Amino acid sequence: MEFKMRIKLSVYIIFLTIFSCGQEKIMTKMVPLIRVPVLNDSMMIANIYNSSLENGQSYQMLDYLSNKIGGRQSGSPMAAAAVEWARQELIKFGFDSVYLQPVMVPHWVRGSIEKAKLFNTHFGEMDLSVCALGGSIGTDELGLMGNIIEVKSFEDLKNLGEKNIKGKVVFYNRRFDPKEISTFVGYGKAGNQRGQGAIEAAKYGAIGVIVRSLTPEIDDYPHTGYVGYDEKITKIPAIAISTLDAEFLSKTLLADATIKINITLSAKWFPNVLSYNVIGENFGSEDQKIILVSGHLDAWDTGSGAHDDGAGCVQAIESLRLLKINNYKSKHRLRVTLYMDEEYGGTGSFAYADSAKKNQETHIAALESDAGGLTVRGFSIESDLKNVAKVQAWSNLFEPYGIHSIEQGFSGEDIVALKDQGPVLIGLLPDGQRYFNYHHTPKDIFSEVNQRELELGAAAFASLIYLIDSKGL
């Protein structure tokens, strides 16, 4: 289907190109003026897509970042290696300026021990598929031991009260709602168990929390992710459990509420570390206002951060490289920023936004790819409806490439830090049905990323940047 549409488009372009040779006067009379920019835009976008699909660099970049560097939590030696790798790539591609922006980032180390063992009179001992949530405090060598109480919500905690919770391990088992067509909505609805679960359970005297992995899939992979603490409330260890073992644990608790669990974690916090956002830019020919394209360089250590967010980083770099190799001279300053530390709360994005404010930089648009390297369906625009309509006016240019959804919505975790500075914020919107199978798990590896899907995303962003730069927003 897509191939046929591309052929049709090519025939249309060839026809108009031949027709225009030596017939300029007739063209001016016969073709309404409005057709000319549309034709030029179509050709430019076709060239961008062709370059990405024929000679793209995003897949090779992702191969290196995922397979040679791998998981790269902020503060880790791998994150430092990723910073240097990204800097070298930007230099290699001939950006006008490449520099590092310093930022102090959190440094947490998972450690080699993360175990949860069930003790039951019927089956004896049993290991569960778990991992420490990112940022969890550790336990001593013997670990914590206690009974388990299952809840679905913070409301359940309130109803049970301290008398039923104190001294126990709270098991959050609210399902990722499979009825939500947008998996990001499903993720959002289940997310507070992980983000605030330890804080809420500790208020009632819990000694630890087990959180059902945030995925609609039933499998045996625990999904890590940041767990929040409140300095005024006792910090308790927090683990994620695979959905398969969450179902098992729930059934086991129904049969025997006296079951005990032993959780041992060697996770540890270290002092903050100096790290960097990596920035490359090409100067504009008319105006130094900025069009930003971005992703986040840090990634959880359980996988190799191929989808989250290696894909976004290489698509951001590639989008500007594609414009450059197509000899596009931008009016505005085009900048790529690879943020450090999205996963612990965005210290990199705040440092970037602070610096932009201090230096009185103006961003007209900020783009982010942080929803996986999957087939692009559209753009999600965080701005007023007037700006959304301006981007929607380019829909016909994107339709031949399978992009049919240009809607108002959430943009990206890092670029929202720029929101009060007024740019139009735009997130790349890939198909999300499989994303949470990989998200924050050992499955988030290079072999799970499809080359064409990745390249189509880079081309979509390059095309959008071209339109914003040449037409304005």
Residues engaged in binding Zn ion (CB under 5 A): 308-309, 370
Nearest CA to 348 out of 410, 418, 443 is that of 418
DSSP 435: H
Residue 114 near residue 267, CB atoms below 8 Å: yes
Q: Which helix (H) or strand (E) holds 377?
A: strand 376-382
Length of the chain in terms of residues written: 473
Contacts of 317 (CB under 8 A, 6+ apart): 57, 58, 61, 86, 89, 90, 93, 280, 336, 338
User: CA-CA distances (angstroms) from residue 15 to 7, 11, 18, 312, 456?
Assistant: 12, 6, 5, 37, 26
Could you tell me how many helices (H) and strands (E) the chain has, helices first? Answer: 16, 16
Q: Which helix (H) or strand (E) holds 460?
A: helix 451-471
Specify the residue, 114 or 308, whose C-beta has the smaller distance to Zn ion.
308
Block residue for tokens 């001294």: 167
> Exactly one of 89, 217, 281, 342 is catalytic; which is it?
342
- For residue 214, give the 3-state DSSP assignment: coil
Measured between alpha carbons, how far is 87 from 90 in angstroms, rounded to an integer?
A: 5
User: CA-CA distances (angstroms) from residue 432 to 42, 55, 353, 395?
Assistant: 27, 26, 28, 21
Nearest distance in Å: CB 437, Zn ion: 15
Q: Is 342 a catalytic residue?
A: yes
Specify the residue, 203 or 434, whose C-beta has the smaller distance to Zn ion.
434
Specify the residue, 199 or 428, whose C-beta has the smaller distance to Zn ion.
428
Measured between alpha carbons, how far is 314 from 59 in angstroms, rounded to an integer?
A: 8
Query: Around Cβ 278, how many Cβ atoms within 10 Å?
Result: 27
Specify the residue, 187 or 379, whose C-beta has the smaller distance to Zn ion.
187
User: CA-CA distances (angstroms) from residue 394 to 38, 42, 464, 466?
Assistant: 9, 10, 9, 11
Nearest distance in Å: CB 98, Zn ion: 23
Specify the residue, 47 or 213, whose C-beta has the smaller distance to Zn ion.
213
Handedness of CA 59, 64, 67, 71 (dihedral sign): negative
Block residue for tokens 């989008």: 319
Q: Please count the CA atoms within 13 angstroms of the CA of 378 that sit on its side-chain side.
A: 17
**Token pair of 421 as six digits:** 């500075």
Specify the residue, 240 or 249, whose C-beta has the smaller distance to Zn ion.
240
**Token pair of 21 as six digits:** 């040779």
461: left (phi over 0), alpha (psi -120 to 50) or beta: alpha
Task: State the catalytic residues.
Answer: 342
